[in-house]
Amino acid sequence: MTPLLFDSYDLAGLRLPNRIVMAPMTRVRSNAEGLATPSMAAYYAQRATAGLIVSEGVQPSLLGQSNPFTPGLHTDAQVTSWKPVVTAVHASGGRIFAQIMHGGRISHPDTTGLQPVGPSAIAARDAMVFSPTGPQPAPVPRALSTAEAAQEALSYAAAARRAVEAGFDGVELHGANGYLIGQFLSTSANQRTDGYGGSVAGRIRFAVEAVAATVDAIGAARVGIRLSPGAGIWDAIDEDVPELYGALLRELARLGPAYVHLEATTDEETLVGLRRAWPGALLVNPSNPMGPAPTDRKRAEHWLDLGADLISFGRAFLANPDLVERLRRDLPLDEADQATFYTGGDTGYLTYTHYRY
């Protein structure tokens, strides 16, 4: 029998009261030092009825920061700033993983004071990246050496240790949407000739090492990874998607992370094939992040029918802090105001309201 959205789920020992997950969404509401704020604590606590919350992307280092005013987990002060956020979620009955996001080449020296890095010295074509003075053309990154690539893979594990110190229930590695892990998977961004490029085995190596290090650091039950097969976001083009991601999932299965989180960025047949290839818990976001329509209950239930264990909602959760109850009662959903996604401040952040039941 197909599970329902509102059935509980045991995620590697963490009991989720429902199968509805709040997807990670960049909101640029931290301060200039990458510290989490009281508004962020209120924002996540408002949405604590989710079976699981996955936070916005959190940079594991200054070098890994993609956008201005995004939070980090690489200083003691940042760890301390996250503790009230996690405490607020737990006090409201929720569970929260930190998404660890290394931007790689999707960054700018005006944001970090550093030249961005990537698998190869290739800029994202026709891409405008965020900077303190507004969008700017994506710069040419510095290609990581073989030794540096291995060290950047370890940066996810270091941030994961700090996430556990801050009280998070676990972490999700951001391997999707054209950021550093996705850049290594890509044939357009990764034109290396060493062990981190070329063949499928070479292109998946960075992702596997990042997950392996994180599993070693905090335990497999606390680790997930998000992937966007075939998305092409930020000019990170995947080739041979079934082969590439099938090989990656086989290697990840040996490490036993708590879940894989797939975005619906390729055709359904390919995604169903990846479901068959992955023996563990599968979290699916049915809405393409570049598409016009957010996930709704119909799409969520369709993917449960196809074998997903958990369903993530992004924009729908942004605009509906009481999304779980609205879905349960088939109530109308408010639409998110895209103009306030990245503007800072509490408008369009804390101003969405519960349905008048």
Give the CATH number of the domain where residue 66 resides. 3.20.20.70
**How many whole angstroms separate alpha carbon 29 and alpha carbon 164?**
22
Does residue 2 lie in a domain region? no
Q: Average the pLDDT over 169-177 and give the result.
A: 98
- In total, how many domains does the chain have? 1
Residue 29's pLDDT is 96
Residue 288's pLDDT is 78
Residues in CB range of 232: below 8 A, 6 or more apart: 178, 238
Does residue 356 lie in a domain region? no
Residue 57's pLDDT is 98
Residue 193's pLDDT is 96
Residue 248's pLDDT is 98
Of residues 201 and 239, more confidence is placed in 201
Indicate if the pLDDT at residue 1 is higher than 80: no
Residue 137's pLDDT is 97
Please pick, among 9, 44, 156, 179, the residue that the annotation labels catalytic.
179
Does residue 25 lie in a domain region? yes
Mean pLDDT of the chain: 96
Does residue 264 lie in a domain region? yes
Provide the 3-class DSSP secondary structure of residue 301: helix
Question: Annotated catalytic, 179?
Answer: yes
Burial class (CB in 10 A: 0-12, 13-18, 19+), 43: buried
Indicate if the pLDDT at residue 239 is higher than 90: no
Q: Average the pLDDT over 244-271 and give the result.
A: 97
Indicate if the pLDDT at residue 163 is higher than 90: yes
Does residue 24 lie in a domain region? yes
Does residue 351 lie in a domain region? no
**How many whole angstroms separate alpha carbon 198 and alpha carbon 185?**
10
Indicate if the pLDDT at residue 357 is higher than 80: no
Indicate if the pLDDT at residue 2 is higher than 70: no
Q: Tokens in use for 61?
A: 């280092």
Does residue 95 lie in a domain region? yes
Residue 295's pLDDT is 83
Indicate if the pLDDT at residue 355 is higher than 70: yes
Q: Average the pLDDT over 98-112 and give the result.
A: 98
Residue 317's pLDDT is 96
Q: What is the pLDDT of residues 315-341, one digit of tens each?
A: 999 999 999 999 999 999 999 999 999
Does residue 60 lie in a domain region? yes
Q: List the domain range (segments joined by +) for residue 197.
A: 9-340
